[in-house]
Amino acid sequence: MRYVFLTACRNESAILEKFLAEFTTVVTAAGIAQQSMLHVVDDLSTDSSRDILERYRKSPGAISIHVIRAPTNFGNQGAMFFGLLNIEVGADDVLITFDCDGEDDVRQFQSILELGRANADKLVLIERGRRAESLAFKVFFACYKLLFRFLTRQTIVPNNFMLIPGAYIPFIRRSALAPLHFAYAVLKLRLPSVAVVRDRRQRYGGHTSQDLFSLVSHGMVGLMVFYETVIAKLFFLLFLFGFAATAIFGLALLLPDGDFAAQRALLWSVLAMGMGAAWLFALLLSAALALLFKMSVFNQAADERLATANHPR
């Protein structure tokens, strides 16, 4: 049995040394250093990230490390899936995926591994609890989780931090939507699992790499992993908004001509519902376009890599 760790990085030279030092300490303290392999997907870094990883590989006491170079910038989710396609994970092995920026607390590895041992043949899905970001970020993320649960009928909102028994890796590799949102695609497979909440730690260096706009984009693409349910619910909500707006507008026309206050209130209600319907349609369209663009980029890069491998220059 081996412990296979998978993460991805892009231009993380400012924090990589701290991550690698902490990772080595945690894995060594857990007594699994000799059975562990760390796979790092370099998502087309342009700084000294590759040099840092190479120096670590040659350093005494280092955990076995394999650096996978992505043929283009896939983004975090695509890079994680690309890495999964390019590593060996046996049926008896355990895969632990996570983000290496410090927000996924590597000090939790021991408790996650123990939870995995207590729940043999089950995934351990980890939902992030408290966050260290700004109030606006926290409020938006809380709203997103409510929207996600309503639209997808899922009870947990997972992230890249998870434990996966090796026997399930072939199923995940065949998941067509995993390059778009790795964790949600795993969740959609409905494999046997247990869920746990772990607080999101502050990023190494103190500054998060994800702003509100990147969270919005990431969230919209994630929603479309559950497109069957999400699209149906959004269209149903659009129908309800349209029906209610039409009914209220008709009521406003039936009011006596002199009742301007009531008519004005009803017309403002119609306008609000129209704006809500427009927002829902924009959400649906934006999420669908983001899904198509991301899938196109990943498939094109994967095809080019395959062609290069088959016809080397």
The DSSP annotation for 214-278 comes to HHHHHHHHHHHTTHHHHHHHHHHHHHHHHHHHHHHHHHHHHS-TT-HHHHHHHHHHHHHHHHHHH
Residue 304 pLDDT = 58
Return the H-helix or E-strand segment holding 117: helix 109-118
Rounded CA-CA distance 108/91 in Å is: 24
Contact (Cβ atoms closer than 8 angstroms) between residue 123 and residue 31: no
Residue 220 pLDDT = 76
Residue 310 has, within 13 A of its CA and on its CB side, a CA count of 6
Span 129-176, pLDDT tens digits: 776 667 777 787 788 888 888 889 898 889 999 999 999 999 999 998
Rounded CA-CA distance 68/165 in Å is: 21
Rounded CA-CA distance 112/58 in Å is: 29
Residue 211, phi-psi category: left (phi > 0), alpha (psi -120 to 50), beta (remainder): beta
DSSP assignment, residue 202?
P
Rounded CA-CA distance 5/18 in Å is: 17
Q: Which residues pair with 9 in a beta bridge?
A: 42
Closest CA to 66 of 46, 44, 48, 50: 50
- Homologous superfamily, domain 3-209: Spore Coat Polysaccharide Biosynthesis Protein SpsA; Chain A (3.90.550.10)
Residue 211 pLDDT = 61
Span 253-271, pLDDT tens digits: 787 776 778 888 888 888 8
CA dihedral 282, 285, 286, 288 (to 10 degrees): 160
CA 182: distance to chain centroid?
6
Beta strands per DSSP E along the chain:
3-9, 36-42, 64-69, 94-97, 123-128, 162-165, 193-198
Task: Give every residue of the chain whose pLDDT is below 50, as ranges.
Answer: 307-313
Tally of helices (H runs) and strands (E runs) in the chain: 10, 7
